[in-house]
A = this chain, B = another copy of it.
Amino acid sequence: MGDLAGVGRIVDSCRECQHCHAGDEQCCEEGWTVVFNSKDRKHSGITYGGFSQNIVVVENYVLHVPKTLDLASAAPILCAGITVYSPLKHWNAGSGKNIGVIRIDGLGHMAIKIAKAMGANVTVFTISQSKADDAKHPGADQVVVSIDVAQMNNCPKQDIILDTVSAKHNVNLYLKLLNEDGSLVMAGLPAEPLEVGTFSVTNGRKSLSSSSIGGIAETQEVLDFCAKHNITAGIELISIQQENEAFERLENGDVKYRFVIDMSTLK
């Protein structure tokens, strides 16, 4: 009674395959149901997402939002948060590890906060000096301006680099900065293929990898982790009436770091 329920990107899956049984619904063999624009598994329609006053979701796919979290700024944990938490945990981010984060945006600023809370030393890579100052706020230990060759050459080797860039870019520059057995994990998912030099991964047995969101159990885990470490997203709370304006600003990268819509403004 009185619990706060959260709904993330995954609202259903086949519930039968080995991955669903293992709690890796994001790997469901039939493909999982996205909260919006996805075919509803039970009814004939599609899913309409969260821009509504009510949403009906199968109970196994509903999360419990810890009460200590601010509701608006906790919302992005269900997407950006789990998207970075899952690979950081899988590739063993933690104390004594050097974690790189490329780009300070919605995913990036959450990655910095979560990796710091895991005990890691966090280096942020950005192409702009002005953004370099922003990186200090969520708690980055170092900032490297990646178009500055000297700074890149002096950068300590990283165990994991989480790459949140969504456009085509040169990943070989970052693969070079990995320690032996290090992983560059793509979280930004550029639509165009990336050019990977084999020799960028050969010496030191490095990997280029990626992961997709995270399962329901792990999403609950990141909510609890964030509550424990008092982590929420940097947001700008808007009314539903500001939505079109927000989309325009989003296209210009003018938000730190996520818009959250107050659905009580929908009359």
On chain B, the residues within 8 Å of A212 by CB distance are: 202-203, 205
Please measure, in the bound complex, the distance between the C-alpha atom of A198 and the C-alpha atom of B193, giving whole angstroms.
6
Other-chain residue from B186, B199, B207 in contact with A209 (beta carbon distance below 8 A): B207
Count of chain copies = 2
Interface residues of A in 173-188 (CB under 8 A from B): 180, 183, 186, 188
Asked if A238 CB lies within 8 Å of chain B CBs, one says: no
Q: Convert A54-92 into 0s and 1s, putting 1 for each residue whose CB lies closer than 8 angstroms to a CB of B.
A: 000000000000000000000000000000000100100
Q: Is A210's beta carbon under 8 Å from chain B?
A: yes
The contact of A210 among B26, B87, B205, B210, by CB within 8 Å, is B205
Provided the pairs A193-B197, A198-B186 are in contact, do residues A208 and B205 lie with their beta carbons within 8 angstroms? no
Residue A206 CB within 8 A of the other chain: yes
Q: Is A24 an interface residue (CB 8 A)?
A: yes
Closest to A31 in B: B203
Q: Across the interface, which residues of B come within 8 angstroms of A209, CB to CB?
A: 201, 205-208
Within 8 A of B (CB), among A1-41: 19, 24, 26-27
Question: Which residue from chain B places its CB closest to the CB of A22 in the assembled complex?
Answer: B180
- Check if A193 sits within 8 Å of B196, measured CB to CB: yes
Nearest B residue (CB) for A168: B198
A211 in the interface (beta carbon within 8 A): yes
Q: Tell me if A117 counts as interface (CB < 8 A to partner B).
A: no
Q: Is A189 in contact with chain B by the CB < 8 A criterion?
A: yes
Q: For residue A154, give the distance in angstroms from its CB to the closest CB of chain B.
A: 16
CB distance from A4 to the nearest CB of B (A): 30
CA distance A98 to B188 in the complex (A): 30
Q: For the complex formed, measure the closest distance between the CB of A188 and the CB atoms of chain B, giving whole angstroms.
A: 8
State the Cβ distance, A256 to closest chain B Cβ, in Å. Answer: 25
State in angstroms the CA–CA spacing of A186 and B202 once bound together: 8
Closest to A26 in B: B203
Distance between A83 CB and nearest chain B CB, rounded to angstroms: 11
Q: Is A263's beta carbon under 8 Å from chain B?
A: no
Within 8 Å CB of A27, what residues of B? 180, 203-205
Chain B residues with CB below 8 A from A205, complex form: 27, 87, 90, 209-212
Q: Are A211 and B207 in contact (CB under 8 A)?
A: no
> How far, in angstroms, from A205 to B213 measured CA to CA in the complex?
10
Q: Could you write out 25 A-B pairs with CB less than 8 Å apart?
A: A19-B180, A27-B180, A27-B203, A27-B204, A87-B205, A90-B205, A172-B193, A186-B202, A189-B198, A189-B199, A190-B198, A194-B198, A196-B196, A196-B208, A198-B210, A201-B208, A201-B209, A202-B211, A202-B212, A205-B209, A205-B211, A205-B212, A206-B209, A207-B207, A208-B208
